[in-house]
Each structure stands twice: as C-alpha cells, then as structure tokens.
Amino acid sequence: MHLTKSITAIGIGAAMIATAGFAASHSEKAASDAVNARHAQMQLIAYHTGILGGMAKGETEYNAEMATAAATNLHAAAGFEPGTLWLEGTEQGAVEGSRAKAEI
C-alpha cells in the first residue's frame, strides 16, 4: 500500500513537471512568434512606405495605381490589432530579437 502511494506521488509529480515544462516552452514559442510577427509587420510598413517615399522624392516615377496599392497595404499593415502582437513579456530583454520597450 505504501509503495502504491509513493509510485502515485512520483507519477503526479512527474506529470506536474512535464506540464509546467510544456507550458513554459509553449509560452516561449508564442512570445517568439509574436516578436517575429511584429518584425514582419514593421517590414511590410517599411516596404510600402519606401514605395510611396520613392515616388514623393522623385526617385521612382509616380504611378497612381502603385501608390494606391501601397497606401492601401500600408493602411492595412498599420491597422493590425495590437493585442495579438504585443504580448506581455515580449519586451526588450525578455525575448531574443525584441527591441520593444516595456512601455509599449
């Protein structure tokens, strides 16, 4: 009987440790994914701003269709709901590759 209780206690302890480890790795993946998504959003914004900036500076020929498409895409990228991208614990120093200030 005593052996059964010990085995059960060990089994429960091992399950708790495994669950905690899984949860930690899952949250690390979610944090890393959020940082990568933010970086992708910033790249989209930079790309489309570059198209419009090049036209505004006269570096590229003005193209109304391209300008409209770039502005539409820029508006869409800038309008992402931040709740999925700016997860708590993904600020600078908390996740590799993040330079976001904690105030954000």
Examine residue 15 and state whether it is found in any structural domain, yes or no: no
Examine residue 19 and state whether it is found in any structural domain, yes or no: no
Examine residue 25 and state whether it is found in any structural domain, yes or no: no
Statement: residue 81 has pLDDT above 80: yes
Instruction: Please choose, from the candidates 74, 69, 79, 66, the residue with its C-alpha nearest in 3D space to the C-alpha of residue 48.
Output: 74
Q: pLDDT higher for 4 or 74?
A: 74
Q: What pLDDT, on the 0 to 100 scale, is given for residue 34?
A: 87
Examine residue 14 and state whether it is found in any structural domain, yes or no: no
The whole domain housing 75 covers: 32-84
**Which tokens hold the place of 27?**
């949250």
Examine residue 94 and state whether it is found in any structural domain, yes or no: no
Examine residue 60 and state whether it is found in any structural domain, yes or no: yes
Examine residue 91 and state whether it is found in any structural domain, yes or no: no
For 43-60, how does the pLDDT look when each residue is reduced to its tens digit (9 = 90+)? 999 999 999 999 999 999
3-class SS at 92?
strand
Per DSSP, 78 falls in state: H
Please give the tally of structural domains in the chain.
1
Examine residue 3 and state whether it is found in any structural domain, yes or no: no
For 61-73, how does the pLDDT look when each residue is reduced to its tens digit (9 = 90+)? 999 999 999 999 9
Q: What pLDDT, on the 0 to 100 scale, is given for residue 18?
A: 45
